[in-house]
C-alpha cells in the first residue's frame, strides 16, 4: 500500500512539474510574440498626445494601457506610483487608453479635459479613489465620476463641453487603433521600454523596471 501511494505521489509530482514547464513555455511564447508585435510598430506605443507622468526625457518608459473603470488598474496605480518615486529621474509613465468597459470612454474624455486644465494627476487619482462608487460595469454612474473630478478642482462646465465636443474623439480612436494593432486585450497591459511583462504581476513589473534602469547605469 505504501509503495502504491509513493508511486501515485511521484506521478502527481511529475505531472505538476510538467504543468509548470508548460505554463512557462506558453508565457515565454506569448512574451516573444508580443515583443515581435511591438518591434514592428513601436510608434504605436507612444503618441504625441499621450499623457506623460514623470520626466519627459527619462530613459525608462512604462507604457500602461489603462481603463479608468478597471479594478486591476486601480490596484496597480500605487505600485506604479511607488516605482516612479523609487526612480524619480529614470522612469516616466505614459498612459494609453483602453476603454473596454461601459462608460469608460466618457471618463477618458474627462481625464483629457483635466489635462487641458492642468489638473490631470489630481483628477486621475480622485477618479480612481471613487471608482468603487461609479464604475458599475453594467450601469456606471458617470455623475459620481464627474463629482470626484470636480472635488479635485476640475471646472466641470468646461469639462462637459470638452466631453461633448468631437475633438477628443480622435484621441480615443487613435488609442483604440493602437491597442488593437498591438493585440492588447486586457487592462492593465504594461510595456517597459517596449518589453512586455514576462508574466502578469506586481513583482514582474518591478523586476522589469529594475532591469531597464540598471541598463542606464552601465
DSSP 97-163: E---STTHHHHHHHHHHHHHTT-HHHHHHHHHHTHHHH--SSS--HHHHHHHHHHTT--HHHHHHHH
Residue 209 is inside which H or E element, if any? helix 202-216
Contact residues for 106 (Cβ-Cβ < 8 A; gap 6+): 142, 145, 163
- Give CA–CA dist 158/80, Å, rounded: 30
- Give CA–CA dist 133/131, Å, rounded: 5
- Give CA–CA dist 116/109, Å, rounded: 11
Residue with cell 513589473: 205
Please determine, looking at this structure, whether the domain spanning 43-216 carries the CATH number 1.20.1090.10: no
Tens-digit pLDDT string for the chain (218 aa): 556 666 665 656 565 544 443 434 434 444 455 555 676 778 899 999 999 999 999 999 999 999 999 999 999 999 999 999 999 999 999 999 999 999 999 999 999 999 999 999 999 999 999 999 999 888 999 999 999 999 999 999 999 999 999 999 999 999 999 999 999 999 999 999 999 999 999 999 999 999 999 999 87
pLDDT at 1: 58
Taking the CB of residue 198, how many other CB atoms lie within 10 A of it? 14
Taking the CB of residue 155, how many other CB atoms lie within 10 A of it? 16
Contact 34, 183 (CB under 8 A): yes
- Give CA–CA dist 113/161, Å, rounded: 9
**Single pTM value for the model:** 0.83
Amino acid at each position: 500500500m505504501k509503495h502504491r501511494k509513493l508511486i501515485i505521489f511521484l506521478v502527481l509530482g511529475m505531472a505538476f512539474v510538467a504543468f509548470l514547464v508548460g505554463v512557462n513555455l506558453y508565457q515565454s511564447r506569448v512574451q516573444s510574440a508580443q515583443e515581435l508585435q511591438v518591434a514592428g510598430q513601436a510608434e504605436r506605443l507612444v503618441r504625441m498626445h499621450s499623457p506623460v507622468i514623470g520626466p519627459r526625457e527619462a530613459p525608462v518608459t512604462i507604457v500602461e494601457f489603462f481603463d479608468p473603470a478597471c479594478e486591476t488598474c486601480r490596484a496597480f496605480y500605487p505600485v506604479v506610483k511607488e516605482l516612479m518615486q523609487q526612480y524619480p529621474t529614470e522612469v516616466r509613465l505614459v498612459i494609453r487608453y483602453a476603454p473596454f468597459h461601459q462608460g469608460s470612454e466618457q471618463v477618458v474624455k474627462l481625464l483629457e479635459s483635466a489635462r487641458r486644465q492642468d489638473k490631470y494627476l489630481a483628477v486621475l487619482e480622485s477618479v480612481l479613489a471613487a471608482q468603487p462608487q461609479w464604475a458599475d460595469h453594467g450601469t456606471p454612474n458617470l455623475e459620481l465620476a464627474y463629482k470626484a473630478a470636480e472635488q479635485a478642482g476640475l471646472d466641470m462646465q468646461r469639462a462637459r463641453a470638452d466631453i461633448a465636443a468631437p475633438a477628443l474623439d480622435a484621441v480615443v480612436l487613435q488609442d483604440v487603433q493602437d491597442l488593437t494593432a498591438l493585440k492588447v486585450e486586457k487592462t492593465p497591459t504594461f510595456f517597459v521600454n517596449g518589453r512586455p511583462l514576462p508574466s502578469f504581476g506586481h513583482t514582474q513589473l518591478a523586476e522589469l523596471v529594475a532591469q531597464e534602469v540598471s541598463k542606464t547605469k552601465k
